[in-house]
Amino acid sequence: MAKVFCIANQKGGVGKTTTTVNLAAGLARVNQRVLVVDLDPQGNATMGSGVDKRAMPMSVYDVLLESAGIAEAKCSADGAGYDILGANRELAGAEVELVQLERRNERLRTALAAVDADYDFVLIDCPPSLSLLTLNGLCSAHGVIVPMQCEYFALEGLSDLVNTIKQVHANLNRDLQIIGLLRVMFDPRITLQQQVSEQLQQHFGDKVFSTVIPRNVRLAEAPSYGQPGVVFDPSSKGAQAYVEFARELVKRMGSLGKPAKAGAAL
């Protein structure tokens, strides 16, 4: 059975897409079968996986409106070793169209059920909002991975996301839990980042992943080459950290579902 994870944070520019494509490529490197679902109309995960969002024959839009299944609408992220269900501007329209349709929260979940046996992991790159698209992601997922920068206001936005996740858990998807917080774009030379990082660990215990993703320019350069950093420059510090994160996640899956020792606040 595929483990389905949303990469979510309602802030923009916090590293959701970078985490999605690099974790996907990292998981592929450790022999996992991975599907990325791009749920952001900006289509950054699509382009960052080497798929031209303007030239795709089909996308996640067709899947949400049930005019295609995932098996026919997905593309292959050439060279990165995973599949991707792409997104483009069309998806912004889907949000409006979905409002009037039945089962509007569950469309992605239904579509994913049909390809469940084909993957070990499904990673859903969510848009920077708590919209109907994000809701479709949260209703489909077993868990949420929250990338965050260790900055002063990082925790503020977190409470909105945690509340949304609690509500979805209570009303729509009993499986949903927070898998963990991932510290990204980390610069150990900045004292404030170290302090916030320590606070996160004190507060959330083992809900904070032990892998830390450093700020690394190769990760930022990779999308313009249509590749995840893990593929673009595997020896870079950023790429190595994401492969390490993939290993940590695979290991954690053994304990998924058991109550966390700490991090009661989540």
Q: Out of 10, 17, 197, 236, which residue is the one contacting Mg ion (CB under 5 A)?
A: 17
Q: Out of 35, 158, 185, 266, which residue is the one contacting ligand ADP (CB under 6 A)?
A: 185
With CB under 5 to 8 Å by kind, the binding choice for 14 among ligand ADP, Mg ion, none is: ligand ADP
Q: Total residues contacting ligand ADP (rule CB under 6 A)? A: 17
What is the nearest approach in angstroms of ligand ADP to the Cβ of residue 266?
20
For ligand ADP, which stretch binds (CB under 6 A), given 15-23, 134-142, 194-202, 249-257?
15-23
Question: CA–CA distance from 261 to each of 141, 176, 212, 248 (Å)?
Answer: 22, 18, 20, 17
Q: Out of 18, 32, 193, 197, which residue is the one contacting ligand ADP (CB under 6 A)?
A: 18
- How many CA atoms are closer than 13 Å to the CA of 203, on its beta-carbon side? 13
What is the nearest approach in angstroms of Mg ion to the Cβ of residue 47?
11
109 binds ligand ADP (CB under 6 A): no
**CA 125 – CA 228 distance, rounded (Å):** 14
257 binds ligand ADP (CB under 6 A): no
Strand partners, 122: 4, 35
Fill in the DSSP letter of residue 211.
Answer: E
In 3D space, the residue among 2, 139, 114, 132 whose CA is nearest the CA of residue 61 turns out to be 132
**CA 217 – CA 225 distance, rounded (Å):** 13
DSSP 144-179: EEEEEE-STTHHHHHHHHHHHHHHHHHHT-TT-EEE
Q: Out of 216, 227, 236, 240, which residue is the one contacting ligand ADP (CB under 6 A)?
A: 216
**CA 246 – CA 128 distance, rounded (Å):** 23
Q: Which is nearer to ligand ADP, 106 or 248 (CB)?
A: 248
Question: Site residues for Mg ion, window 37-76 (CB under 5 A)?
Answer: 44
Q: Which residues bind ligand ADP (CB under 6 A)?
A: 12-18, 44, 128, 184-185, 213, 215-216, 219-220, 238
Q: Which residues bind Mg ion (CB under 5 A)?
A: 16-17, 44
